[in-house]
Amino acid sequence: MTVNKSGLDLYWIPLGAGGPAIVRFSGAAYETIKAQFERRERYDLYHAALIAHTSQGSFSIEMTPVPNGSSASDRGVVAEGAVGMRWARRLRIFRYEVRTWRDGVIPDLGFAVASPVRISDEAAIAQLVLDLAPAVPTPTWGRDELRTGDMWNSNSVVAWLLARAGLDDGTVRPPPGGRAPGWEAGLTIARNGIAPPPATRAPTSRPGY
């Protein structure tokens, strides 16, 4: 359930919840192989998203595939990046977008586990995260172009935003038994100031401004 009080909320959504079975299957296969390679137990995988409640309204913040149809400005898109292969980003299916969507929809939010996690009760902090979003790095999704030891994905965006806003002191973690691939990439890039490849920024203005 969404919290309406001003502030910032984090949601942990099981990977592939409510979506195509292939997403859950491929995620489970990836985690099984990763766990065997690292000689550890297998964890549940999560996708992180934020909702910022400000005086301007509530904004959903997340990385998603670029959908077909609706305008990017309607979804509050502030940046785009490549999926898998940088050269293939000419095709919509090989691009992702970073959104700050006013009154936006977060797919499968109803499946979120141990959520929402209240990160801050301050509207100013929620606004700060919104203001940082257009500057988020946009490396290629699913790869470790910046040599952080972790791939870049939707969790990296959320971790980067929290770290740059001074909100992640290492205690923000997925629910017990869970893992958020890409989280450490976002923290590392935010803390070390690693310069990403040139980004593609949305040409539209921020929603609500």
Threshold 0.75, pTM exceeds:
yes
Those residues whose C-beta lies under 8 Å from the C-beta of residue 148, and which sit 6 or more positions away, are 184, 185, 188, 189, 194
pLDDT digits (tens, 9 = 90+) for 134-193: 999 999 999 999 899 999 999 999 999 999 999 977 789 999 999 999 999 999 999 887
Q: Can you tell me the distance from the alpha carbon of 36 to that of 34, in angstroms, rounded to the nearest whole number? A: 5
What's the pLDDT at 7?
A: 96
User: Is the preceding omega at residue 20 within 30 degrees of 0, hence cis?
Assistant: no
Those residues whose C-beta lies under 8 Å from the C-beta of residue 21, and which sit 6 or more positions away, are none
**200 phi, psi to nearest 5 deg:** -105, 115
pLDDT: which is higher, 200 or 23: 23
Q: Can you tell me the distance from the alpha carbon of 73 to that of 76, in angstroms, rounded to the nearest whole number? A: 5
Asked if pLDDT for residue 2 goes beyond 50, the answer is no
Terminal Cα distance for the chain, rounded: 26
pLDDT digits (tens, 9 = 90+) for 72-116: 888 999 999 999 888 777 888 889 999 999 999 898 999 999 999
Asked if pLDDT for residue 205 goes beyond 70, the answer is no
Q: Do β-strands 44-54 and 7-14 pair in parallel, antiparallel, or remain unpaired?
A: antiparallel
Q: Can you tell me the distance from the alpha carbon of 135 to that of 161, in angstroms, rounded to the nearest whole number? A: 9
